[in-house]
């Protein structure tokens, strides 16, 4: 039974676009797919200026409706994340091989800048563990003496160029480039970095002096074992284990009772205070418990003159900056998106990059190093009920007060407590459930995860990034070269045609083969698609010759999913037509889209195929060419 | 009127594959998509060996049914292409800055090897203009003194590694990599190389001594103008113009009357003979007409010891070899495919690479340089009626006889005749019609063409290749990051849903928005697709609020073209679900494929969406959720 439709529709060729229209359309699709200028339409000059201001500095937009009620929430959230960030800042600066005050400097300036320009409401800005580790590794590769002034200058240089990289991406609207690192690769990088960081903390936790500078697991573990009998300090270990237990227990409680989240948030600060007091009273530092270098008191000094704009460190500075800037951006965007999705507001990726870039450039001239959104603090910020980015301002001011007033009090803070804090934070970055899900959903994603993960822990963070990029590209290449083609059959009694492998109850039409191509047909896959179709035809023909079904006379190609075809694709279709002619099979097209129709016409391929062989639907084609009167 | 279907079909989850099955399937799709082992199935051991032999050396397969009748055709074709290739060989060797005999050596050994291993029936193997130019440029960049023995050794080294590159691609079944250079880029490269080569021939044509070694248009033209008043040799110009006119006229005649194609084929040989005799008689060489360096008599010497396997030239040799090998392969495969399509036989890309690789490796140890399929000679071979690759053997033997017997006769051949021959051949590589078609069909392709073309003529061939690769990748990246999403409407009176922009007569269903996603959903585009869908929903909602249509309550995503989804895509869908829930819109899926269904289940996303919201077709979904009893 052939389902014959009342009217056979004709596929029209769309009106030809002018070159300018086409160009405009392409540029818009590629760079302005989010239509950022739509709100500027039909506005007068001064209004446009205001909107433009709002767009660059969102604070002027939401700031007008800001009130005391909202501020109460933001204040509490801000104080909470400040108490979390101060110990983290000191600890992370050590990961980057910088003096502790640089972590605090970064937590003062960058959140302020972000508050004016950023569009995420929940993100908490400041130094983060992964970027600190990356920076530390890459900077030490260039200048191994991390106590030298050159090292600090290179750090500022890298920060400056990280900001420039982010600004450039934002201005050129190339934000989509960060989508090229696959989710799996990011998870792998995070997990690898977390474990690397945690293992490196063993030297703090065990009180080992003269630890290896390498970050790979093998070197670290060798360093740990080799010092086992003489290098471990038992006083340190006791303090460390006590801190660890305290932090883990509060974290566990906070996880069980979400109302008690503040317990986990203030636990690091509490353990810093308690351990500092303990060391001060017992003078444990005389018994080999290492304490932090004295933290310089006072507000950020200007560092504009420190940046290398020439000389042999310019090149490394730019390179490290680009890598760190991209990684920082990836992390910030991932965080921003997660929370934007929870609260259903939209986040403009390109605008975020502008904010991040500006904040790092300003940071680099005010003694900050690369800052971005922090996973742990953002989550606390969200749970503490922050409403706007004002919580970042509150945090920034708290850090400022700390810098001015109480830094000398940190003098007796034992390093081991910082190590414990880092370990607990970074272990939160390893998410076993996500890894299991990767394995379950997509084996290729799991391979990418493992590749990056192993690269980071056995080699180094930058090698991990390289692996991430290569694997992500390999997947993209696979996607474009190996598109799917599916044989369709009719769902009995309807005019619906579906994949015969998925729906074995569908029936094939005698004398016809229906194939759907599920991709744009470009040079990269056109030849594969052509050969695939021909092979499929040969296989089906051989199969049907065995039974008593009639020979295939029509090859219907369902083109609905084919959104574009380029000259390579047209070429392949011409070759397909040639081959089919030799085999006395007619090529029939179903539902080519507007762009495809236009190109079929421009290339005269539609004449070769025949206008009467192009249909709106497979059902129409079958109704026209099907063997009438035969029961299926 | 809602089209209600008799039965609402359910989308089943396919049976779970084991890890091994999945792995096997993936490897097969990626590397063995042409199913090369199918014929080995159900065969016994000795038969398998024979089939394997046939597979590596196709000559043993078709050779058994070869007969005298076929040989007559091949013999005529072989003699014809030999008469064309001998002058070309001498000319092309000069493009590569090598002594003329190396061109002849290459035309003797490589076609023989190819004849045993290759599967194309029409291709004519030997040195070609573009690869010779590329090799000449890149080798001269490394060793500017092209008369030195090092230069020759580097040429052999590059040839060796070109062969190794081709072999590696073939063995690893990475043949699909050459599909990454777009058709447009190849056309641009060919045209640019042709014009560069043609312009460089002006120095031969005008009899200029001490010509620039650079290949870009600006340097060449400057060199030509600066020698205008004292460097041009009028005797040379007269001979050159006479040759050019003769060659162009015969070519024109051959084009008009395809039966006279042999006229164009033997014209180069005739002009070489006539001009040589002319120079010998008039002793025009004493009047400044340059003649070729004496060609060494005798068969190819062994050059295995000449190849650099260590030292400072190993690196450049490998690099040049890889580039030249890839370009040679691209050209050969393009030629092979064209003629395979005309005669409808299939060409195994990976097997071709093995043949090409073996032939160049053997070539490199027998004093040949990189050989591949020649456009001009293959066309002549085809028109001369060749049936098999035996015509290459005939050509090879003819070249051998030339080498042994008559090379001294070429002593008085003027260089200008070689220049004329080259100009006429390479101008055939510039195909204005194809360029116009590129412009008409795809503006992006045209941009790629122009980029590569301008890169080759204003900079150099290798820069052109770099541009080709970058532009091709840019296009692939665009394809995967910016997939199409289309709003569908119902073709009135049917259950067919089509793009409302293409078919304005379709109607939208009240309270529903139907969107088709035309691509696999991967990390690289998942976020874009999500945002695109949400923006589309917001736009449609705003539009419908104006009119009196009901608010959108159902978002139907037609998933037929979505052949795969990875963890990034699953993530994006979860975020989409969250956002839709806030907006009180139900997400409904139509016809997800088997792989997508499996992953929706593995990730539990199908529970979040609801099994009852997944349908086989849009029509089913509309029938279930549509506002019943309402007239559209």
Give residue A285's Cα distance to chain centre. Answer: 43
Other residues' Cβ atoms within 10 Å of the Cβ of residue A544: 17
pLDDT tens digit string along A200-252? 888 888 888 777 777 788 888 888 888 877 778 888 889 999 999 999 999 89
Give the Cα separation of B373 and B123 in Å (integer).
6
User: What is the enclosing helix (H) or strand (E) of B488?
Assistant: strand B485-490
Size of interface A-B (CB pairs under 8 A): 264
Return mean pLDDT, chain A.
86
Q: Which of A503, A560, A583 to probe the B interface (max B CBs under 10 A)?
A: A560
Listed in order, strand segments (DSSP E) in A439-575 are 485-490, 497-499, 512-517, 554-558
Give the Cα separation of A320 and A326 in Å (integer).
10
pTM given for the model: 0.79
Contact state of B9 with A568 under an 8 Å Cβ cutoff: no
C-alpha dihedral sign at A578, A579, A582, A586: negative
User: How far is the alpha carbon of B609 from chain A, nearest alpha carbon, in Å?
Assistant: 16
* Helix %, strand %, coil % of chain A (to 5): 65, 5, 30
Give the Cα separation of A601 and A589 in Å (integer).
13
The structure tokens listed for B585 are 């819109």
Residues of A with Cβ-Cβ distance to B477 under 8 angstroms:
180, 476
Report phi then psi at B24, rounded to 5: -60, -45
Measured CA distances, A111 to A358, B339, B498 (Å): 11, 65, 49
Kindly state whether A147 is in contact with chain B, defined as any CB-CB distance less than 8 angstroms.
no
Interface of B with A in 308-367 (CB under 8 A): 337, 341-342, 344, 346
| Residue in the block written with tokens 């998509």 | B33
Please report which confidence band the pLDDT of residue B36 belongs to, taking 50, 70 and 90 as the band edges. Answer: low
Contact B126, B374 (CB under 8 A): yes
Range with the poorest average pLDDT among A616-620, B74-78, B171-175: B171-175
Q: What is the dihedral of CA B481, B587, A557, B501, to 10 degrees?
A: -80
What pLDDT is stored for residue B629 in this prediction? 41
Which residues, at least 6 apart from B86, have a Cβ–Cβ distance to it below 8 Å?
B104, B107, B269, B272, B398, B399, B402
DSSP-derived secondary structure letter, A507: B
- b/e burial code for range A293-318 (CB count within 10 A of at least 16 → b): eebeeeebeebeebbbeeeebeebbb
**Closest C-alpha to B590, from B563, B567, B565, B613:** B613
Interface of A with B in 429-488 (CB under 8 A): 437-438, 440-445, 472, 475-484, 486
Contact A574, A619 (CB under 8 A): no
Q: What is the ipTM of this complex?
A: 0.81
In this complex, the residue of A493, A518, A527 whose CB is nearest that of residue B561 is A518
* Domain boundaries, given as residue ranges, for chain A: 72-477, 482-625
Q: What is the fold of B482-625?
A: Transcription Regulator spoIIAA (3.30.750)
Give the Cα separation of B438 and B458 in Å (integer).
21
pLDDT tens digit string along A476-497? 887 788 888 889 998 887 788 8
Give the Cα separation of A333 and A355 in Å (integer).
12
User: Is the model more confident about B462 or about A151?
Assistant: A151
pLDDT tens digit string along B50-88? 888 888 888 888 888 888 888 999 999 999 899 889 989
- Strands in B554-558's sheet, in edge-to-edge order, are B497-499, B485-490, B512-517, B554-558, B586-590, B614-615
pLDDT tens digit string along A343-373? 777 777 888 899 999 999 999 999 999 999 9
- b/e burial code for range B158-196 (CB count within 10 A of at least 16 → b): bbbbbbbbbbebbeebebbebbbbbbbbbbbbbbbbbbb
| Residue in the block written with tokens 């090598």 | B98
Straight-line distance from the first to the last Cα atom of chain A, in angstroms, rounded to the nearest whole number = 6
What mean pLDDT comes out for the span A144-170? 93
pLDDT tens digit string along A552-607? 899 999 998 888 888 888 988 988 998 898 888 999 999 898 888 888 988 888 88
pLDDT tens digit string along B609-621? 888 889 888 888 8
**pLDDT beyond 90 at B139:** yes
Give the Cα separation of B399 and B93 in Å (integer).
15
Report phi then psi at A489, rounded to 5: -130, 165
The structure tokens listed for B488 are 């569908």
Kindly state whether A9 is in contact with chain B, defined as any CB-CB distance less than 8 angstroms.
yes
Kindly state whether B179 is in contact with chain A, defined as any CB-CB distance less than 8 angstroms.
yes
Give the Cα separation of B515 and B517 in Å (integer).
7
**Closest C-alpha to B110, from B281, B332, B409:** B332
What pLDDT is stored for residue B445 in this prediction? 86
């Amino acid at each position: 039974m052939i389902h014959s439709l009342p009217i056979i529709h004709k596929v029209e060729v769309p009106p030809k676009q002018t070159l300018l229209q086409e160009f405009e359309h392409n540029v818009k699709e590629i760079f302005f797919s989010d239509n950022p200028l739509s709100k500027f339409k039909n506005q007068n000059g001064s209004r446009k200026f205001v909107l433009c201001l709002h767009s660059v500095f969102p604070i002027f937009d939401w700031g007008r409706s800001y009130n005391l009620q909202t501020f109460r929430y933001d204040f509490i959230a801000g104080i909470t994340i400040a108490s979390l960030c101060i110990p983290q800042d000191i600890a992370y600066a050590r990961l980057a091989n910088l003096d502790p005050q640089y972590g605090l400097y970064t937590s003062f300036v960058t959140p302020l800048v972000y508050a004016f320009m950023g569009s995420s409401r929940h993100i908490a800005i400041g130094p983060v563990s992964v970027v600190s580790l990356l920076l530390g590794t890459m900077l030490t590769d260039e200048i191994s003496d991390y106590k030298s002034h050159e090292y600090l200058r290179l750090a500022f240089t890298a920060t400056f160029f990280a900001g420039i990289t982010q600004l450039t991406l934002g201005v050129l609207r190339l934000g989509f480039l960060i989508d090229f690192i696959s989710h799996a690769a990011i998870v792998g990088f995070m997990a690898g970095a977390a474990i690397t960081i945690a293992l490196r903390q063993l030297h703090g936790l065990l009180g080992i002096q003269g630890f290896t500078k390498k970050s790979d697991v093998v070197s670290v573990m060798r360093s740990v074992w080799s010092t086992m009998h003489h290098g471990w300090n038992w006083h340190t270990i006791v303090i460390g284990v006590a801190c660890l237990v305290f932090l883990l227990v509060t974290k566990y409680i906070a996880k069980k009772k979400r109302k008690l989240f503040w317990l986990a948030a203030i636990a690091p600060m509490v353990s810093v205070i308690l351990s500092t007091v303990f060391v001060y009273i017992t003078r444990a530092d005389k018994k080999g418990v290492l304490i932090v270098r004295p933290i310089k008191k006072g507000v950020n000094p200007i560092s504009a003159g420190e940046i290398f704009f020439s000389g042999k460190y310019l090149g490394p500075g730019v390179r490290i900056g680009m890598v760190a800037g991209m990684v920082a951006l990836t992390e910030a965007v991932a965080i921003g998106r997660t929370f934007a999705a929870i609260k259903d507001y939209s986040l403009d990726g390109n605008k975020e990059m502008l904010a991040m870039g500006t904040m790092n450039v300003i940071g680099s001239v005010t003694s900050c190093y690369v800052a971005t959104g922090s996973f742990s603090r953002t989550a606390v910020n969200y749970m503490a009920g922050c409403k706007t980015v004002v919580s970042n301002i509150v945090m920034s001011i708290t850090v400022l007060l700390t810098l001015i007033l109480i830094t000398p009090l940190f003098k007796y803070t034992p390093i081991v407590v910082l190590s414990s804090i880092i370990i607990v934070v970074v272990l939160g970055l390893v998410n076993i459930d996500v890894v299991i899900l990767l394995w379950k959903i997509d084996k290729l994603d799991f391979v990418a995860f493992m590749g990056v993960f192993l690269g980071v822990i056995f080699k180094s963070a930058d090698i991990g990034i390289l692996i991430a990029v290569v694997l992500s590209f390999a997947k993209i290449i696979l996607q474009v070269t190996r598109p799917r083609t599916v044989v369709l059959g009719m769902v009995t009694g309807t005019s619906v045609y579906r994949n015969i492998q998925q729906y074995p109850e569908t029936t094939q039409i005698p004398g016809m083969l229906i194939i759907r191509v599920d991709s744009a047909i470009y040079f990269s896959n056109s030849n594969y698609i052509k050969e695939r179709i021909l092979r499929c035809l040969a296989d089906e023909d051989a199969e049907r010759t065995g039974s008593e079904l009639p020979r295939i006379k029509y090859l219907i190609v369902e083109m609905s999913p084919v959104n574009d075809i380029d000259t390579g694709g047209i070429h392949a279709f011409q070759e397909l037509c040639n081959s089919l002619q030799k085999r006395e099979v007619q090529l029939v097209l179903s539902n080519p889209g507007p762009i495809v129709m236009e190109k079929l016409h421009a290339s005269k391929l539609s004449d070769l195929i025949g206008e009467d062989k192009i249909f709106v639907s497979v059902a129409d084609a079958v109704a026209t060419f099907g063997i009438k009167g035969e029961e299926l």
